[in-house]
Amino acid sequence: MTTDSVNIRELVLGILLAVTKDGEYSHIALAAVLEKYQYLSKKERSFLTRLTEGTLEKQIELDYILNQFSKTKVNKMKPVIRCILRMGVYQLKYMDSVPSSAACNEAVRLAERKGFRNLKGFVNGVLRNVSRNLTKITYPDKNKSPLFAMSVQYSIPEWMLAQWSWDYGMEKAESIAASFCIEGKTCIRTNVTKTTPEQLKADLEKRGITAEPIVRKDYPDFSEGMYLSCYDYLTAIPEFTEGKFMVQDVCSMLVTHIADPKPGDYVIDVCGAPGGKSLHAAERMQGEGMVEARDLTEYKVALIEENIRKSGMKNIRAVEKDARMLDSDSVEKADLVIADLPCSGLGTLRRKPDIRFRMTEEDEKSLALLQKEILSIVCQYVKCGGTLVYSTCTIDRMENEENTKWFLEKHPQFSLEMQRQFFPDEGMSDGFYIAKFVRKQVKS
């Protein structure tokens, strides 16, 4: 199948509409299309992925450009036309391998194919105008409107930038924003019950896959992580389907390092899907004890079970439970509780670009309250002398340090052993927060 016969741009349009109009998550919608069309060549999949992710990632800038060249403003356009034009401008500005004529002509054909023959001239006119004037586009003045200028430059909503500027200063906010424009790498964790990092690296490189070991000077015993590149797609890698590695962010792996589960422990991961931290804990426990990976729905539990099956681990089970409901049978039974809770996800914009326009300040406040609710429930499962690890994949103080402060005030039976905010501009990992609490030996 060629790009023309399948029409890659039409597939991209479908994903963009699913995300921006129907509310689907971009990484899920994209993965579903790549799974369905596995017969596409590596070049075609690469084009599809880049155009999808890039159009979503640069959406604020693309809309800013379109509003300079279109009499009809972006928010007044029909969803299909809006997405077609965004795709077109992204190709014109960011994909040098695509001729300007191809970007314009294919957009016109796509509009016609989708039933908008009457808007062909509009699409053609706007994109030809943008193409002719790309070097003449005027951008906001950073001195006059710093947050607006940064918002357009990095395609991040002003309210997020304002929050980061307030919490960390303007310079750090811009550094964070810039880091989300750097293309991410696929991060994996070796299943050390099936292979070693050294053997996995050698096996992957025999297949022409580059495997770059991740070194953390702050965590010298961290050895199981690698960045992968030069591969086609994961499910075509035997080591992946055999469970010798799974995709997991560096900081997500560090949760288990910091939690430090021991052989024989009873561990409860209260929001465990898809199972990365739970399986990591089971591995570090050397097959002894038990990890109970819980989540809210049958679908999420099935994800955990599939990863357990691939891993071959026996000291782990998946259970469907609502973390907001007290499980009286678990009170003071766990040596370790892992609470990687639902959050705003602002640390993952590199991997999940649609969070930029999906998340709101009100959503953040609601999530912070949900986190408090869950923490107050699940902390009861920790036995005296046991450990509670709270983590999020966000860089929002309200969900992180402020929740930790609140938790300590409300639950004096716990002491804080450590907390750390990992920032996305410190490397290729997500923005991530980890706090480790220990329940005092003597009950309060």
pLDDT at residue number 3: 44
Is 41 part of a structural domain of the chain? yes
Is 60 part of a structural domain of the chain? yes
pLDDT at residue number 5: 61
Is 185 part of a structural domain of the chain? no
Q: Give the distance from CA 227 to its chain's centroid.
A: 16
Is 190 part of a structural domain of the chain? no
pLDDT at residue number 444: 47
pLDDT at residue number 81: 98
pTM: 0.93
pLDDT at residue number 184: 86
Same domain, 98 and 174: no
Name the more confident of 233 and 297. Answer: 297
Task: Report whether pLDDT(361) > 60.
Answer: yes
Same domain, 270 and 171: no
pLDDT at residue number 4: 46
pLDDT at residue number 78: 96
Return the percentage of the chain with pLDDT > 70, whole number: 98
Same domain, 124 and 164: no
Same domain, 101 and 157: no
Same domain, 14 and 50: yes
Return the percentage of the chain with pLDDT > 90, whole number: 95
Same domain, 277 and 414: yes
CATH of the domain at 129: 1.10.940.10
Same domain, 303 and 365: yes
Dist CA 50 CA 47 (whole Å): 5
User: What's the average model confidence in pLDDT over 393-406?
Assistant: 98
CATH of the domain at 342: 3.40.50.150
Same domain, 172 and 112: no
Domain total for the chain? 3
User: What's the average model confidence in pLDDT over 265-279?
Assistant: 97
pLDDT at residue number 382: 98
Is 301 part of a structural domain of the chain? yes
Dist CA 126 CA 129 (whole Å): 5
pLDDT at residue number 428: 87
Is 126 part of a structural domain of the chain? yes
Task: Report whether pLDDT(443) > 90.
Answer: no
Is 308 part of a structural domain of the chain? yes
Is 76 part of a structural domain of the chain? yes
pLDDT at residue number 216: 93
Residue 272 domain boundaries:
250-439
Measured CA to CA in angstroms, residue 235 lies from 85, 242, 285, 351 at distances of 33, 10, 28, 19
Dist CA 273 CA 196 (whole Å): 25
pLDDT tens for each residue of 81-135: 999 999 999 999 999 999 999 999 999 999 999 999 999 999 999 999 999 999 9
* Look-up of token digits 């357990």: 308
Same domain, 166 and 105: no
Task: Report whether pLDDT(367) > 60.
Answer: yes
- Is 393 designated active site? yes
pLDDT at residue number 2: 42
**Mean pLDDT (the chain, rounded):** 95
Residue from 187, 343, 379, 393 carrying the catalytic annotation: 393
